[in-house]
Structure formats: C-alpha cells, structure tokens
C-alpha cells in the first residue's frame, strides 16, 4: 500500500501531524499514514458532487452494510434494524454508561487502557474501578469489582494498547458474571478489522447471555482512517436495549455526519480489498519494529500485538525509563503517547503507532537510537 511522503502527510493538516513542530515525527495518535481507500474517496467525491451537505437521513444504507460486514468477517450478523449511527465510539460508550447501566453504579476499567476510558466514569459521575489488563482480562477480577457495586465493564476488544484478543471462554464467562450482577459490558470494537492471525470474535455473539448484557460500539475510523468524518455505530443485541434507545430524546441520539455516513457505508460495502492489502503490510511493519526497536534502544521490550497497529513499549530497563515520551521528544524529536496517560501501569511505557512506511519507521529507529546514545 502507498504511504505519502512526509510533506504530503503534513499537508493533511490532521491532529497527528499538527500537534508538534515540523521537525518532530509523530507516532502517537491512532491515525494511519496510508493513502485513503480509493472506493471511499470515490464515495466522498460523489457526495461532494451531489452536494450532500444537509442533515443526515436515517441510516438505511449503513445498517445492512454493517450487518453484512460483520457476517463476512466475524461470522455474526447483528439485526440491521438494531444498529444506530452516532458521531464517535467514545460518545457511544458515554451513552451506554449514562442510559443503560444501573444509576450511580461504578465502571470497571482494565488498565493500561485507552485514555478516554479513564475519563468516562468521571464524565458520567461514576466511581472508577481499576483492574489489571496485563496478561489479559481476568473474569474473577471483574467479578470482585461487581461485588463492590460496579455496574459496567468497559471492554476494548481487540485491546488498546496491549493488542491482545479475547478468547471465547473469557467472553462467555464475563457475560455470565455481568448477568449475575445486573451489570453491562460496553464493548469497543473499533480495532476489530485489524487482526493478524485469526478473525475477531464479537463479544455479543458468544451466547444468548452475552447478547443480553453487551452493547457494541464500532466505527470505520481506524481500519480505513476516516476518524474526522464522525460516524460510528452502536450495535444492540437485544430488543430491550433497542426500545430504551428509541425512548431517548433525538438531541442525545443524533449528531452523525452526512458524509461520514456515506463514507462508512462505502468502507463496509467496498472496503474489503483495502483491508486485504493493509493487513499483510501492517503485519510486516509490526514484525519489523519488534525486531528493530530493541536494537535502537537496548533493554527496550516491545509488546507484539495480535491486533491493532499500536505497540506498547516498555522502557523500564533503559536510560529513558524516567519519562520515555518526553525524553524521546526532547532528544530524538519523535512523538509517542505517554504511557502514564493509560493509567498507573503505563509508567516507563509509551505507545507507538507503526501504521506508516518502512522509511519513516527507519527514521524512527535512528531517532530513538540517537536519544538512547545521548542518555546512556
């Protein structure tokens, strides 16, 4: 797949490329550097030609597109009529906590985690119940927090930033525990198309109980790199949740972008070939950084993800351990996510986005080596 040169990437003027000075290479936020899927560009171009700039229609094209994509790729076809369009995944998780969990109940957050997961309990005025995600999600740890009053589990599947995928047995057990404690599992599947060695398994699909307790949120923003178009999907898997959703005021349920809805539909209906080309390239890049980054920074441990284009880097045994992101920015002019933003286990860690070209990754290795040499 083609990756534009650095000057062309900067010309995109997206958050990834605008947050730092021009001499800094960004490997932080989860935007990829690949050229946009041609079919998606065509759909957007046609929408502009048609002047599709008004309020969005009901998602009658998007709903079956999502359901059919899920069937093709994950072996589960959700009811198209139970799929809602919303602006973004974090909004969906917020609404899930606010309107589909026991009032006032706490939220279980496995850490290290995607930083907004740590903000959501506070935003909904709920207590945060932290558990460890290192080594996977432990159902017994989740159950212990449910006994302390938590009423929801925020589950990123595949998991960001550690990149692991959840096993069927774990998902079945989590669903049974949630049902036993009148709790909900809010599942973020935004990275689901980006798996390397086996298909994603949808949490809501593993049992009738899972369908009852899970609410799934997803989007095309990671796999096709269109986060700025603001169209995610809430996938309900039981009728009671659908009825509850339809009772909510339109003010709460609306906000999706018209062109985002068109683009997302194109991703799901015409974007399979793009994924087929992207996955092998990402797998090669993943393997490359797992081999090369420890050479650049002796002592560095690189977590090899099963999914996502995000690697979790452990600098504890390196001269950068005190503050890896700051020191790499200062001495290497390279921007990574500060691991501390992902929770206490992120101390001496950083998250690295490898969805770019081999040439840019080579430069990342050189800059990290430069920072290491300066501090060693």
pLDDT above 90: residue 369: yes
Q: What is the pLDDT of residue 11?
A: 96
Residue (of 59, 30, 13) closest to 194 by Cα position: 30
Question: What Å distances lie between residue 194 and 17, 116, 145, 174, CA to CA?
Answer: 22, 20, 30, 23
DSSP notation for 26-89: E--SS---SPPPHHHHHHHHHHHHTT--SPPPP-TTHHHHHHHHHHHHHS----GGGEEEES-H
Q: Are 171 and 203 in contact (CB under 8 A)?
A: yes
pLDDT above 90: residue 67: yes
pLDDT above 90: residue 232: yes
Q: What is the pLDDT of residue 372?
A: 98
Q: What is the pLDDT of residue 1?
A: 83
Euclidean distance between CA atoms 266 and 69, whole angstroms: 11
| Segment 12-60, tens digit of pLDDT | 999 999 999 999 999 999 999 999 999 999 999 999 999 999 999 999 9
- For the segment 62-90, the average pLDDT, to the nearest whole number, is 99
Domain ranges of the chain: 6-31+273-375, 41-270
CATH architecture of 6-31+273-375: Alpha-Beta Complex (3.90)
Q: How confident is the model at residue 221 (pLDDT cuts 50, 70, 90)?
A: very high
Strand (E) or helix (H) holding 236: strand 232-236
* DSSP three-state, residue 152: strand
Q: Are 91 and 130 in contact (CB under 8 A)?
A: no
Q: Are 161 and 310 in contact (CB under 8 A)?
A: yes
Percentage of the chain surpassing pLDDT 90? 99
Q: Are 232 and 92 in contact (CB under 8 A)?
A: yes
Q: In the β-sheet with 232-236, what is the strand arrangement from edge to edge?
A: 83-86, 232-236, 214-219, 184-188, 150-156, 106-111, 128-132
Dihedrals φ, ψ of 238, to 5°?
Answer: -150, 155
- For the segment 354-363, the average pLDDT, to the nearest whole number, is 98
Sign of the CA dihedral with 263 first, then 123, 242, and 143 last = positive
Strand (E) or helix (H) holding 295: helix 272-296
Euclidean distance between CA atoms 62 and 202, whole angstroms: 19
H-type alpha helices, 148-257? 168-180, 208-213, 239-247, 250-253
Domain 41-270 coded CATH 1.20.58.1880: no
Euclidean distance between CA atoms 313 and 201, whole angstroms: 26
pLDDT above 90: residue 355: yes
| Segment 128-179, tens digit of pLDDT | 999 999 999 999 999 999 999 999 999 999 999 999 999 999 999 999 999 9
- For residue 307, what is the DSSP state? B
- For the segment 75-85, the average pLDDT, to the nearest whole number, is 98
Euclidean distance between CA atoms 292 and 282, whole angstroms: 15
Pull the structure tokens for residue 110: 């496995």
Residue (of 115, 185, 107) closest to 344 by Cα position: 115
Q: pTM of the entire structure?
A: 0.97
């Amino acid at each position: 797949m083609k990756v534009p040169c650095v000057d062309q990437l900067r010309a995109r003027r997206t958050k990834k490329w605008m947050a730092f000075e021009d001499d800094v290479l960004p490997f932080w936020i989860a935007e990829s550097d690949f050229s946009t899927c041609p079919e998606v560009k065509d759909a957007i171009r046609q929408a502009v030609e048609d002047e599709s700039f008004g309020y969005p229609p009901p998602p009658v094209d998007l709903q079956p597109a999502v359901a059919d994509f899920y069937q093709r790729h994950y072996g589960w076809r959700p009811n198209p009529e139970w799929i809602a369009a919303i602006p973004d995944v974090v909004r969906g998780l917020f609404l899930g906590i606010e309107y589909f969990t026991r009032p006032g109940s706490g939220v279980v957050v496995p850490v290290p985690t995607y930083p907004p997961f740590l903000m959501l309990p506070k935003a909904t005025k709920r207590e945060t119940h932290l558990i460890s995600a290192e080594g996977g999600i432990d159902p017994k740890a989740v159950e212990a927090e449910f006994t302390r009053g938590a009423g929801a589990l925020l589950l990123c599947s595949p998991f960001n930033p550690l990149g692991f995928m959840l096993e069927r047995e774990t998902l079945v057990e989590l669903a049974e525990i949630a049902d036993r404690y009148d709790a909900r599992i809010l599942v973020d599947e935004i990275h689901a198309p980006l798996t390397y060695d086996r298909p994603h398994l949808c949490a809501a699909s593993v049992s009738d109980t899972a369908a009852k307790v899970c609410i799934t949120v997803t989007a095309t923003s990671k796999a096709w790199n269109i986060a700025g178009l603001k169209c995610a999907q809430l996938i309900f898997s039981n009728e009671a949740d659908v009825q509850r959703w339809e009772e909510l005021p339109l003010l709460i349920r609306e906000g999706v972008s018209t062109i985002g809805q068109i683009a997302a539909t194109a991703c799901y209906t015409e974007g399979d070939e793009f994924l087929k080309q992207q996955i092998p390239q990402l797998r090669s890049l993943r393997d490359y950084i797992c081999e090369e980054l420890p050479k650049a920074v002796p002592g560095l441990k690189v977590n090899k993800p099963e999914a996502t284009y995000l690697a979790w880097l452990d600098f504890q045994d390196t001269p950068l351990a005190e503050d890896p992101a700051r020191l790499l920015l200062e001495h290497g002019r390279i921007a990574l996510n500060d691991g501390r933003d992902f929770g206490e286990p992120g101390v001496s860690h950083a998250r690295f986005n490898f969805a770019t070209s081999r040439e840019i990754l080579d430069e990342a290795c050189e800059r990290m080596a430069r920072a290491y040499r300066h501090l060693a």
